[in-house]
Structure 1
Amino acid sequence: MDWRTLPPLASLRAFEAAARTRGFTRAAEELNVTHAAIVQQVRSLESALGLPLARREGRGIALTEEGAALSAALTKGFEEIELAVAELKGRDEGGPLRVSMTPRFATHWLVPRLGAFWKLHPDIPISMSPSRELVDLTRDHFDLAIRFGDGNWPGLETERLFSAHFTIVASPRLGLKGPLTVEELAEQHWIIEDDWPEQFAYLSRQGLDISSIRRTHMPTEDMAASAVDAGIGIGAAITAMAQDDLDAGRLVALHATEETRLGYWICRRPGPVREDLRTFLRWLRSEV
């Protein structure tokens, strides 16, 4: 890199803050300098580049096409610097791995296995954040995310952990034995989890009309799972999540199919992988 060809770092930093906050005043507050200093740095940058980058608009600023392109590149670059520094500090301070995942994955797959991981690696702390939200790994400082979907998340490196093979399950209390046909399934009372769109897509592909089956809706996955366990009705489950209960006889399989599109994916930011994360990834793969 030839630093002599680049404008001063101070002017790049001032412009990035002004562009991101859409105002000189907010940028000045963020960088703890005066409003005039931000304006001077931005004008100096425009002069060095020979291009207008921003113009005043109301109480804020609007970016030119060139300004928007430069702003996006600078923000990404500064975020990468921030991330690298944070990872180095976290590594030095023994900070935990921060992992975002869906509540279903945490409850039914990861948590039951964590004890085995910590027996092997007691020196690697993990901070779990179960959430349905798609977190921004860079902005929110997560090392890893386990997401449900088709693996298409631009800007992230993704790796399928396992496919989402679905199984229709029931409590042994109901006295049902599989496999059941779609017609027989449609005659049962169903437990439907409201906030699980993948479930609706799967049942529809099996030829089940959710609007016409007898059903009880549950607002959370824990309530839906408890209702199925109690024998109130049958429900859909991702096979990998229900396998322990199926093997132990706490649930019985009524209908199973393979879903090739959807699955649980390991998602991480591109770039070097810290050693404790590398160890955790190896262990995740070994558990599948």
Structure 2
Amino acid sequence: MDWKKIPSLPALRAFEAAARHRSFTRAASELNVTQAAIAQHVRALERQLGEVLVIRDGRGIDITSTGRDLAEQLFDGFNIIAQAIDDLLRHTEERPLAIATTPGFATNWLMPRMGGFWAKHPEINVSITPGLDTVDLRKDRFDLAIRYGTGDWPGLNCELLTDGQFWVVGQPELLKARADTCLSDIVELPWLFDEAMLERRSLVESEGIDFETVNVKLLATNTLVISAVKAGMGIAIQSKSLVEDDVARGELRKICQLHQPEYGYYLASIPERDRPAIRKFRAWLRSQVKT
């Protein structure tokens, strides 16, 4: 297709509307422009094509036979385009809302609350993909990602969900005879860490603990870490948002609190992707953070 031979879309739209309405005035009203703009587009189209398309007829207009043929094909072409856009939008609205998140956040924070979302929005299908690998929201076709970090990710809208408060927790049975209130009280216990979350070492060291002297056990995922802590295998440093429900239920005991203000769980999204399902899920997440 030689695009250089195809007139501008505004000119084609103006002529098609004028031919369909047999009126520059009504065409201008439909396209939300002035009557003079419609007339200018039509005259420019006639000059480019070298054909008379519209004839003034009293206070109205008439369309030449050449103009009628072109208008009919433009009408069909614009309808094909409109149908293609409608199909695409319908597909976009009907496909599940794709969420990427970490396994720990999905297991310990998101999934226990999802029943409330589906009760409120049964019409929205949600696909949750837990994983530790970094995802490209555009390339991998995710609508939203919930990730731990500083939220400084170029090209994305990032909204803080939970701040960088950490709780040091352990199984109540493991700690029942202890009155621990700080890290120095528990240096002899096994410390459980997720292999991908060793940046929490800085939290330990900021409390004056020599990390090299701590009995550290590394597990593949944070979900395994929390399970191991509940089983009494050691203590762990966890984001408050992931373990506060477990502490409230008595499954874990909070030993002390640490703070790393530059870190937290962020909701990341693509600026140009903002369909209704995304807005509803985002609003629901905000409401859950406050409770």
TM-score (norm 1): 0.66
Query: Hey, what does 2:103 align to over in structure 1?
Result: 103
Q: Quickly say closer, same or farther: Cα 1:209–1:86, change in 2 above 3 A.
A: farther
Query: Hey, what does 2:279 align to over in structure 1?
Result: 278
SS at match of 2:100: strand
Q: How does 1:168-247 map to 2 (within 5 A)?
A: 168-174=168-174, 175=176, 177=178, 179-247=180-248
Q: How does 1:250-269 map to 2 (within 5 A)?
A: 250-269=251-270
Is 1:112 aligned to 2:120, yes or no?
no
**Would you say the 8 A contact 1:100–1:144 is kept in 2?**
yes
Shift of 1:231: 1.1
SS at match of 1:139: coil
TM-score (norm 2): 0.66
Shift of 1:273: 1.0
SS at match of 2:211: coil
Shift of 1:99: 0.7
Give distance in 2, aligned partners of 1:216 and 1:118.
Answer: 38
Alignment size in residue pairs = 207
Q: Quickly say closer, same or farther: Cα 1:176–1:148, change in 2 above 3 A.
A: farther
SS at match of 1:195: helix
Provide the aligned C-alpha RMSD in A. Answer: 2.3
Q: Deviations over 1:181-237 (max 9, x none)?
A: 332122322222222133223223333222211233322223322221111211111
Query: Which runs of 5 or more structure 1 residues have no equivalent in the other structure?
Result: 5-83
**Would you say the 8 A contact 1:98–1:142 is kept in 2?**
yes
Give distance in 1, aligned partners of 2:202 and 2:87.
Answer: 40
Give distance in 2, aligned partners of 1:253 and 1:87.
Answer: 50
SS at match of 1:122: coil
Q: Quickly say closer, same or farther: Cα 1:165–1:96, change in 2 above 3 A.
A: same
SS at match of 2:213: coil
Single out whichever of 128-137 and 214-223 deviates more from structure 2: 214-223
Query: Hey, what does 1:42 align to over in structure 2?
Result: none
Q: Quickly say closer, same or farther: Cα 1:178–1:158, change in 2 above 3 A.
A: farther
Q: How does 1:36-115 map to 2 (within 5 A)?
A: 88-92=89-93, 94-115=94-115
Query: Hey, what does 2:56 align to over in structure 1?
Result: none
Q: Quickly say closer, same or farther: Cα 1:198–1:272, change in 2 above 3 A.
A: same
Give distance in 1, aligned partners of 2:104 and 2:222.
Answer: 7
SS at match of 2:192: strand
SS at match of 2:136: coil
| Partner AA of 1:213 in structure 2 | V
Give distance in 1, aligned partners of 2:187 and 2:117.
Answer: 41
Give distance in 2, aligned partners of 1:99 and 1:87.
Answer: 20
Shift of 1:85: 9.5
**Would you say the 8 A contact 2:103–2:221 is kept in 1?**
no
Point out the structure with max Rg over C-alpha.
2
Query: Which runs of 5 or more structure 2 residues have no equivalent in the other structure?
Result: 5-84
Q: Quickly say closer, same or farther: Cα 1:85–1:127, change in 2 above 3 A.
A: farther
**Would you say the 8 A contact 2:143–2:273 is kept in 1?**
no
Q: Deviations over 1:245-286 (max 9, x none)?
A: 100111111111222110011111112510111000000000
Q: Deviations over 1:131-167 (max 9, x none)?
A: 1111111111111111110010001111111112101
